[in-house]
Chains A and B, each alone.
Chain A
Amino acid sequence: MAQERLAAIVGLYEWPKRKDPGVSAMQIKAASIKHALDDAGLSWKDVDAVYDAGDGEGGGLGAVAAYLGLRPNVIDTTQVGGSSYEFHAAHATRAIQEGKCKVAVLSYGSKAATQRIPIGTGGGRAGGSWSTNMEAPYGMTLIANYAMVAQRHMAQYGTTSAQLAEISVATRHHAMRNPQAVQALHDMAVQNIGELTVADVLESRMIADPLHLLECCLVTDGGGAVIIASPEVARTTKKKPVWILGSGEALSYVTNTGDITTSAAAQSAPTAFGQAGVKPSEIDIAMIYDSFSITVAVMLEDLGFCKKGEAGAYIEGGRLRYDRPGAPALNTDGGGLSSNHPGMRGIFLLMEAARQLRGESTSQVPNAKLAVAHGNGGFLGSLHSGGTIILGAD
C-alpha cells in the first residue's frame, strides 16, 4: 500500500535542562517555539495554527496564543494528559489536509521538578464528582492504577518483575549515550548514575506493588516545541521532513468485565497503522510512553509488536536496545524513565522519533525509516487516552 505523505514534522526543539529554576513554563514554551522554527528555517509570522494542552502558569483557554503574540487560524486546546501531543499531531495533520493551515506549532513547558509536584504519589483525588466520589476514601495514587495493571498482567500471563525491569535497563542504556539525559540524572540526584542491571531495578524500593522505584519515570522540569507543516512547506524547510503517515486516537476506562491489561492503544494503533499502510514488524523505532515499565509492556502488545500477554518474553535479553536486531529500538533518548518526564511526555516521543528519522539521535539506528510514537495520558488501568502517530523518512 502506498504511503501518503499527509504532513511533516519540520522543526523541533527539546529544552535541554531538567531542573531550571530560572525560567517559567511559559518562557520554555515560547523560547522552544522560536528554536523549533529556526530548526525548520521558518519564522514567527509563518505560524497559522496553535495546538496547546493548557500547561504553564496562565495557560489554558488558548492563552498561549496571546502570550506568543500570534493570531492563528486554527486553535486546538485538546487536553488528554501525556498523549495530548499525539492527539495534537493527529489534529494538525487533518487541519493541514483540509487546507485550514500550513504551519502548526505544538509546545510544552513544565516546572514539575522545581515545584516538587508529586505526580505519581500525590493521590487520592478529593471527592465531589461521579468518579472521584467512588475512589476518594481509598487512597488511590496515580502509580497504583498502573501497578494494578502490572499485578493483573503477572497473574494472567506469568509476567515477572525481572522481565519488566528490562525496560528500565534498556532505556537507561540509551540515556547514558544522551548527554542531556546524563545531566538530568545528576540534576535529579539519582543514585547509581550509570548502566542498570535487572538486579538494580529489583533491589530498588517498592513504591506500589509490584512496581519498584526504578520502574517509575523521573519528575523533571522541561518542555519543547514541534513544528508540523504541510507537504508544500515541508519541501522548503532546512532539515529533511519527517512525514506523518497515520494517526489514531482512543480513550479507555474501567468497565465491569473489561480486560485491564488492554489499553487504549489496542484501538488507536490499528487505525494509525492501517492509515499508514505500515505493519508493526516494519517499525525501526518505537517511542512508547514510559511513565512506568508496565506502560511499555502493555503497549508493545497493543501496538502489535507481540501478542497480548507475551511482552514479558519479548523484552527479555535487552532486545529493545538500539543496537539489537529483531525488535524496534525503544525510547532511544532515555525515555521518561531515565531522561525527562515533566508530567506530559508525549511531545518528546514525537521529537526523538523525528531525530531518529533525521539521523540525529544519540543512539542512532542506522538508516531508520519508520517510527511509531505512542502517547498515553491519564491513568492506565482506569481512564486513560492513547494517541498513535506513524512517522516515516523519505
Chain B
Amino acid sequence: MPDRPMPAFPELDTQAYWDATKDKKLIYQQCSACNTVVFTPRAHCTGCGSDNLKTLQSKGEGTVYTFSVVRQNRQPAFAEMGAYSIAYIDLDEGFRMLSTVVGVKDPTTDIEVGMRVKVDFERQDSSEYLVPVFRPA
C-alpha cells in the first residue's frame, strides 16, 4: 500500500509545527498585541494583522467538536484502510484543529461529539514527522 500523504516542505508557515511533532509537542500561536489565538500556524495574527506572535505548547487536551467516519476514499493510500475517523478537536487553549480520533474499538459507534480526548503522536508510514492524533481521555 502506498504511503498516505504527508506535509511537504519547504512550506514556511507550517515547518515549525511539524518540527515540534518530532519531540511530541503540539504547538499553537497567540498574538502578543491582541491575544487572539492563531491556528493553523502563520506569520500574522488573524485578528489584527500583527506579526508579533508567540509560540506556545498545548497540553493536548480537548473536546470533539464534530467528526465523521470515512467509509470510502478512492485515494490508493486510504482505499484499503477500512473505516477511519476525521474530527475537529477544540483544544482547551482555544484553537480548533483537524485530526482523527483513534484508540476506539469501532469508530462508527464509539466516537461522540463532546467527548474528551488527549493528543498522541503516531508515526505514519515512512514519514520523519509524527502525526498528532487524539485518543479518548
Contact = CB atoms under 8 A, between A and B. Distances in A.
Contacts of A141: 70, 72-73
- Tell me if B's interface is mostly helix, strand, loop or mixed: loop
Interface string B66-92: 111111111101100100101110000
B114 interface: yes
What are the 3 tightest A-B residue pairs by CB atom distance, in nearest-first order? A147-B68, A155-B113, A133-B7
A127 B7 contact: yes
A90 B49 CA distance: 30
Interface string A245-260: 0000000001111001
A137 B75 contact: no
Interface of B: 4-8, 11, 13-14, 17-18, 37, 39-42, 65-75, 77-78, 81, 84, 86-88, 94-100, 108, 112-114, 124, 127, 131
B42 A148 contact: no
Interface residues of A, number: 43
B44 to A, nearest CB: 11
Interface of A: 118, 121-141, 144, 147-149, 151-152, 155-156, 205-211, 254-257, 260, 381
B96 A254 contact: yes
A151 B64 CA distance: 11
B57 to A, nearest CB: 17
Contacts of B65: 152, 260
Among B6, B66, B112, the most chain A Cβ lie within 10 Å of the Cβ of B66
B5 A136 contact: yes
Given A136-B7, A139-B75, A256 B39 contact: yes
B66 A149 contact: yes
Given A141-B70, A149-B66, A256-B95, 5 more contacts: A122-B73, A133-B18, A155-B112, A208-B70, A208-B72
B15 to A, nearest CB: 9
Contacts of A118: 74
B68 A126 contact: no
